[in-house]
Structure 1
Amino acid sequence: MARLRISAINFLNPAPLLYHFEHSPWAEELAARYDTRYTLPSLCAADLHAGRADLGLIPVAALTEDLAVVPGCTIASLGKVRSILLLLRPGVRLETVETVATDTASRSSLAYTQILFRKFVGTDPEFLAPAPADPLAMLGQADAALLIGDPALLALERKAEIDGALGACTWIDLAEEWVGRTGLPWVAAVWAVRPEALNGETAARLVGDLTASRDAGLAHREGLVAEWTPRIAVPAETIRHYLRHNIHYVLTPECVRAIELFRAYAAEIGALPPLAEIRFLNADAGFLRSDDRKPVDLAT
């Protein structure tokens, strides 16, 4: 049986989800069934849609009806997440933002930001072409700067320097903004699979492998802190707090409702195409639709 090709994200936040894939003795066993490759969030989705990957940790903006969400795991937040930031230049308010500089942000980050302006604030600023994730340079050409992932965490560590150079900026945590305005979690990414790609691999074992890896990662967060401290220029305590308190890793019913609301809002404002339904991989019954959670024939 051919190995399932995994497209994953090489950021700090998915580290607990990938624990078994990166640590002995489980990594050797899983390597017999999975071929794991690391890339950017947007490219995870591109690989999955193009058939270059069978399973991907993809932004929720990239979900389509052809993919099935693997239950159990997510990258989400129940409040402040720290790794998706909108910085406003001094003197600029959300209502007066006219231009937004973006880094190589995922489609989800862009869509969440567009929802903030178009749906919640009632404005429609211009989003500039992606630029390197340098907040000083970004705010030199735009009213606001969008940073995600590790660059956002690094920017927070440089807050005094950035504010000292530009004046007191406004720092907005977009996850906290979404949770405050909707009462639902902010959800960034989920595991998704192409139905035809299972190729003999059982749904139950796939769900079990990913869930067990997540659980092990959550149980070994201190070890992950030690591993990641040399890899990212932030203090160990920042990494510890991020993994323990900022990121939520369990795909709850509230997270599913948040994804559905996010996709509905994004379609309403024209940021993303409509998604009529979300399909879910079920360990016992194949694929489930989001509306009734009843099994779906794999041929449909």
Structure 2
Amino acid sequence: MADKHVDELSGVETTGHVWDGIRELNNPLPRWWVWTFYACILWAIGYTIVYPAWPLLTTNTKGVWNVTNRAVLKDELVAANGTQKVFVDKIAAMPVADIIKDKSLSEFATAAGAAAFKVNCTPCHGSGAQGSIGYPNLNDNDWLWGGSADQIYTTISHGIRDPQDTNTRVSEMPAFGDMLKPEEIANVAAYVADLSKQPVTSGNPAAGKEIFATNCVACHGDQAQGNRDLGAPNLSDAIWLKGSGEAAIIAQVTKPKHGVMPAWTARLGDTTVKELAVFVHSLGGGE
């Protein structure tokens, strides 16, 4: 057997493990640490003997003392549910705007709505409700259907273009690729891009303004600031749901994309929808 390597400086044998030229010293563990470790093992064995611990096929070991806090936990849950029920019943009976005015109810609804949002809404709107292309950012004050508490509640409750809800919000932008020539679409895209201070590289904004006046003002308005009654977006700001820039605008004008948001009342119940509305309203963009 080869002789053990001994470190020259400390005089301690090494383990034979080497990393980047650094050898590991074979120092024993401190005795106090070893005995503490053994004591913890003995304590754990004793704990499993005295208290319920090991799972069996249909039950578990009861332990010598047969002590359990399950009954205490059950009582605490009943008490907590009773306390929550007081708030839940009040929320169920009140309009969203009135819930927000009540500080204690608003705090409870915001917390409950945040939990419901994480489970149901983050796949589309993101964990921070920041949205993405095709999914609105819920933190800003740019609202297709209005940002008041009641308007947010209606949108969540009935959804957008949900075929299962007869009261769903509906807006349909025509496919202007069937009505306008490609040059005309390029010009109106240039005009819209120019409105929001985006660079124009191809179309003619002046010619696009005339096309916009003829085809688009009915929904988007004379100043292109949108119409919440129709769900028509504001085209004069820098917030774009389907993507910004002339190419994205041309694509949307030619063959528009229409998203679908589920109607959540049937899935979650009216009380949870109210809590979601309060939470979304509290994000900072609510009006």
More strand by share: 1
TM-score bin, normalised by smaller chain: under 0.3
* Larger fraction in helix: 2
Larger Cα-atom Rg: 2
Q: TM-score by structure 1 length?
A: 0.21
Query: Structure 2 length as normaliser, TM-score?
Result: 0.22
